Structure 1
Amino acid sequence: MADPDFASPRMERVLDTAADLLVRWGYQRVTIDDVARHAGIGKGTVYLHFHNKEALFLTVLLRAQHQVVASTAERMAADPEQLLPSRLVSSLYRVLSEDPLARALYLGDAEVLGRLAHEAADTLGALVGRRQEVLTEHLRLLHAAGCLRSDLRPEALLYMLSAIGAGFFFVGGMPGGTPDLDVETRTDLLERAIAATIEVPDPPAVELERLAPVVAELYRSLIEDIDHEVRRRVR
């Protein structure tokens, strides 16, 4: 969490514990009592921060989304090639392969999220819309800079990017996937597929360097929206 007003060690412990139990047991089975017991605190302490179970676990999901988006912005600021859609999606694929909570969030895992997926629809749905707006503007900037195919509009490129990504994320499942292909191999194949489909052969490095701070700031603006939703749910 980025804001010190709600990033106390005690709250982090509560959120870490809730995240672990959510992945291991699923939303339907976990109770506030379970979270408090495993975090080594009283149930009343959890209620000092959260009105109810839904608010607690929505905050867990929002924190996971914050972390994914923040790491994306940091990678872009440090390495302009991370602006390329092939690098963006392959990096996300690797993150989801390693982080079961982020994977459940981004893939809408009903076994883990259960009823929470429906309870979170309004909140996370709005953020998904914002994420699509940011990605669309990201692609528009790359398109105008000559980094993507010129024969298709940015909206068509976004459709192709989403279709390829969905295929890799869902076909064969994660994290196991196709038995004879490990995560690194599948990540490399995903990157190659996107690069060959929507990017130009040699994206101009000077344009990527110029756009890196601009696009990174787009993703940071999304972090602000995520944190605003957290503040609505934390006492």
Structure 2
Amino acid sequence: MSAPARVPDRLDRVLDVATDLLVRWGYQRVTIEDVARHAGIGKGTVYLHFRTKDALFLTVLLRAHHGVVSRLVERIRADPAEALPSRMLRSLYLELAGDPVVRPLYLGDSAVLGRLAHESADTLGELAQRREEAGRAWFGLLRDAGLLRTDLDVSEQLYLLGAVTSGFYFVDSLPVPTAPGDPAGRAAVLEHALAASLEVPGAPAPGAATAEAVADLFASLIEHIDDEWQRRVRRSGRAAERRSAR
């Protein structure tokens, strides 16, 4: 899982273990003691980094978001076509379909997160607002480049995109004309739907300058995510890590 390079090894291991236990056991069952035992450290060491269980697992959620958005930015910078809604969401679908750990965390699965799903709503509220602002700027860049249709305004287009991503986009139980367990087939259907409803037919791929501007928009989200999760890591824990590394 992608994570900021400045995270100390021991803290990274605590977050890895906490992520695994959260997905396997659910928030209600897992405890700080469980995380410490599976990480091979004392629970006091976990508390050096995090004051509460909520702080630990909110950091787990923020790290999951960091990884998803970082890889999205990398894909855009490697291939400008990934800046288009249809391509971006196709790639995101395939990534989450192939990652049973990150998927429930990124999507806010209440069966896994339990009470944390409600607690995180306030914590991640500003992130959601920033994502919406980035989305508006993203669509504005593509419209200015002649790559998005203009028969709907930006708000309506973002609503359409949100309906796909938060609704039937991730509902595996819906019947689709692809083989069972075929995420690539499902991704292709969804890519086609978004391209037909949002994008200008026959338009070229975004130019390098447009793609880089889109990548920069999403990269700014990564900075905010990192600021949020670093605020939840206790300074005493970071200081202890630095001393032990000497």
Determine if the alignment matches structure 1 residue 214 to structure 2 residue 213: yes
Corresponding position: 1:224 with 2:217:
no
Which residue in 2 is equivalent to 1:44? 44
Alpha-carbon distance change, 119 to 77 in structure 1, aligned in 2, over 3 angstroms: same
Q: Number of residues paired by the alignment?
A: 229
- Report the equivalent of 2:153: 153
Greater shift in the superposed pair: 225-234 or 178-187 = 178-187
The alpha carbon displacement at 1:172 in A equals 3.1
Q: Is the 8 A contact 1:168 1:190 kept in 2?
A: no
Residue 225 of structure 1 aligns with an amino acid whose one-letter code is H
Aligned to 1:112: 112
Aligned equivalents of 1:51, 1:13: Cα separation in 2: 17
Give how far 1:17 is off.
0.3
The Cα shift of 1:2 comes to: 1.6
C-alpha separation in 2, matches of 1:173 and 1:99: 18
Q: Which runs of 5+ in 2 are unaligned?
A: 235-246
TM-score relative to the length of structure 1: 0.92
Q: Within 2, Cα distance between the matches of 1:107 and 1:47? A: 27
CA shift for structure 1 position 150: 2.2
Aligned residues of 2:33 and 2:43 also touching (Cα < 8 A): yes
Where does residue 184 of structure 1 map in the other structure? 184
Range 56-65 or range 208-217, more displaced: 208-217
1:132 counterpart SS class: helix
C-alpha contact 2:61 2:106 (8 A) present in aligned 1? no
Q: Within 2, Cα distance between the matches of 1:94 and 1:173?
A: 17
Structure 1 vs Structure 2 CA RMSD: 1.7
Give the residue type in structure 1 aligned to 2:145. A
Taking every aligned residue pair, what percent have the same amino acid on both sides? 58
Contiguous gaps of at least 5 residues in structure 1: none
TM-score, normalization by structure 2: 0.88
> What does the per-residue CA deviation read over 1:144-165, in whole Å, with 9 as the maximum and x for residues that have no partner?
1100112222222111222223
Is the Cα contact below 8 Å between 1:55 and 1:233 reproduced in 2?
yes
Pick which of 21-30 and 89-98 moved more. Answer: 89-98
Alignment of 1:196-215 (within 5 A): 196-205=196-205, 207-215=206-214
On the 8 A contact 1:97/1:103 being kept in 2, the answer is yes
Are 2:76 and 2:83, in contact at CA under 8 Å, matched by a contact in 1? Answer: yes
Matched, 1:124 2:124: yes
| Aligned twin of 2:17 | 17
Q: Secondary structure at the match of 1:28?
A: coil
What corresponds to 2:79 in structure 1? 79
Q: 1:150-184 CA distances to partner (integer Å, 9 max, x unpaired)?
A: 2222222111222223343343359xxx8735111
